[in-house]
Amino acid sequence: MEIDDSEATTVGTPVRQLSVFLQNRVGALLSVVQLMEDHHVVVLGLSVQDSIDVTVVRLVVSDPDLVETTFMERGIPFSTTEIIVVEFTSGATGLSDCLRSLLNAETNVHFVYPILSRPNDRPVLALCLEDNEFGKSVLLREGYKLLFQEDLSR
């Protein structure tokens, strides 16, 4: 179990993940990342799922509103999902303890991936659960620190 520190908060802007649907072709991912950099947006987290026809790129960025507007203006297909971002204080064992807490609460994990940014120099993980609100309450009860968009976009 994670031990909560005095910095923990339960209020903030939820982190929005953008899922971008790209054609499975050379350079497609670079084009999206470059587009964000051209707009001074930092990629904070990234997960890529590849198939024969299409690639789904899950992104956590420093300015999701700007990225949404940019994608709409350019006709880039995307969707948004609120996710949970949890910070571990116990390093490598934090992952198994976190997953055990969610399993004990009988909530399903849809996907997880690491966040590249470490606002407090600690490991950070993005999670999407069957019921994010319930999952947040479980993690907070277990003493985990949840991060919000403001924490990641500093």
Report the C-alpha gap between 87 and 41 in whole angstroms.
22
Domains of the chain: 17-81 (3.30.2130.10), 82-152 (3.30.2130.10)
User: Given this model, what pLDDT does residue 151 score?
Assistant: 93
Report the C-alpha gap between 56 and 18 in whole angstroms.
10
Report the C-alpha gap between 106 and 90 in whole angstroms.
23
What is 116-132 written as a DSSP string? Answer: S--TTSS-EEEEEESSH
pLDDT in tens, the chain (154 residues): 554 444 455 689 999 999 999 988 889 999 999 999 999 999 999 999 988 888 999 999 999 999 999 999 999 999 999 999 999 987 666 889 999 999 999 999 999 999 998 888 899 999 999 999 999 999 999 999 999 999 998 7
- For residue 1, how far is the Cα from the chain centroid? 21
User: Given this model, what pLDDT does residue 66 score?
Assistant: 97
pTM: 0.87
User: Given this model, what pLDDT does residue 136 score?
Assistant: 96
User: Given this model, what pLDDT does residue 11 score?
Assistant: 80
User: Given this model, what pLDDT does residue 10 score?
Assistant: 67
